[in-house]
Amino acid sequence: MKPASIAPARLFQHAEPLHVRGARVRHLLILLPAGADWCDAPEHEAAEAALARRGKKADAPGKAPLTLELPGGCLSVWLRLDQGKDAHAWHSLVRQALQPLLDEHPAALDIAVFGAETFRARAAEAAVYVAWLNGVTLPVWKSEKPPAALGRIDLHGINGLDLKRARALAEGNTLCRTLTMLPPNLLTPASYRARLRDLALAEGWEIEEYDLKRLKKLKAGAFLAVARGSAHEDAAIVRLTHAGKGKRAGHVALVGKGICFDTGGHNLKPARYMNNMHDDMNGSAVALGILLAATRLKLGMNLEVWLAIAQNHLSPDAYTQNEVVTALNGTTIEIVHTDAEGRMVLADALALATQSKPQAILDFATLTGSMAVALGERMSGVISNRDALAETARQAGLACGERVVPFPMPDDYDEALDSTVADVKQCTLDAEADHILAARFLNRFVGDTPWLHVDLSASRCKGGLGAAGSDITGFGVALGLEVLERLGR
């Protein structure tokens, strides 16, 4: 599957400044550094006149975007950006500025940047990336015809800027959001696997599917326990491989939780918490988005992506509390709560990922409610068995605009998971520190491999987050690519 909707708008760069008069410009974003003279921008007289009518001065601080209509019917948004702010702050402000322009669903958008060359380069990249993310047509099933996607961006004030990375990230993020938004009747494990085959064919990835028959031979009891709840027997762990070029290419594994719908199983969720549980495959979509971006950039790294695809349903065959199952690596697990299925499917996927001895494993999952309680929906949490890797993720988040908070993973938390009948309890019945307990549980399945766990509490944020204006944010794609690039260095 490679839907046309993930393709960003065509980009054209122009070194010369934009002059609105005489140009057929209808939707314009103007970016200036904080404290810049408005006279640097086109039609500044018209802007000053419009401000005067509102009783404001042209030199008023530009913390928020200013929307003005210029002569000739051009809708313009003016924004000053503080060069001391981080990527998240810039992305958020630029998205706010672009909103009234993109709300009119223009076929073309003009972006003009002013100021020093370093500012223009940073502002142009941020603006084009945000426009690419929010100018696409995301899935919708309304009866009326959806508006057309943004088709063209003209960037003024800079030329020759390399935006291949921003474009690759936009495609990866849009693929992630597109898959996550599919309703559960359109994205089942069977149809998801079919889409993965199409994607692998289109992108040149190797694909290997560990179906239930094969997983039974491998004794992947943790994954199989969850898969029992679905009568379709279409669950699988899918492995996608991208070969990096060069003899010294690194080897990193990405693991994603792909629960296409999560009822909670026998420990059934109430309606409020079951709503939107088709999002529970978001971790797998994040891993796919990272893989697509890395492929577009020809990242010199060997990537293995392991996707644990299943559903957690209530049925006579579904797993129950107090069962004891054996995971692929031989660890016996006492089941305590059937709604803690994510760590079960990840356990066997992580164990499989370690077998090829990667230099690091990164896993992505909408795993615990306690992480959402700790951080809300504007940041995600990371936990690692290497302090340096957690710090790399924190710095990567600041650089790319997807903020993460490292949490500790002290081994004395294992006491809460002691079982009298098995090697480990799946979880506890208390909500306390479940994000740390889940990480301690998963740590048993990665051996000594450096491992980073990303608990995606920011996968859905009402009104959008950072660069993304949709409730489904695609959080993790930019973070994951940034971490990979830092590991490669």
d(CA 335, CA 225): 10
Q: How far is CA 124 from CA 305, 343, 423, in A?
A: 32, 41, 54
Output the six-digit token pair for 376.
């809300």
Radius of gyration of the chain from its Cα atoms, rounded to whole angstroms: 24
4-162 architecture in CATH?
3-Layer(aba) Sandwich (3.40)
Q: How far apart are CA 279 and CA 346, in angstroms?
A: 16
Residue 68: strand pairing partners: 76
The CATH number of 169-488 is 3.40.630.10
Query: Residue 475 in contact with residue 180, Cβ under 8 Å?
Result: no
The pLDDT value recorded for residue 57 is 63
- Report whether 408 contacts 440 (CB < 8 A): no
Which residues are known to be catalytic? 269, 343
Pairing of β 206-211 and β 236-242: antiparallel
Q: Cβ(390)–Cβ(297) under 8 Å?
A: no
For the chain, give every domain's residue range: 4-162, 169-488
CA angle 306/310/311 to nearest 5° reads 150
Residue 21 has what pLDDT? 61
Q: From first to last of its 489 residues, what are the pLDDT tens digits of the chain?
A: 344 468 899 999 999 877 776 568 899 999 999 876 666 676 677 777 767 777 766 554 446 788 888 877 889 999 999 999 999 999 999 999 999 999 999 999 999 999 999 999 999 999 999 999 999 999 999 999 888 999 999 999 999 999 999 999 999 999 999 999 999 999 999 999 999 999 999 999 999 999 999 999 999 999 999 999 988 899 999 999 999 876 667 899 999 999 999 999 999 999 999 999 999 999 999 999 999 999 999 999 999 999 999 999 999 999 999 999 999 999 999 999 999 999 999 999 999 999 999 999 999 999 999 999 999 999 999 999 999 999 999 999 999 999 999 999 999 999 999 999 999 999 999 878 999 999 999 999 999 999 999 999 999 999 999 999 999 999 999 999 999 999 998
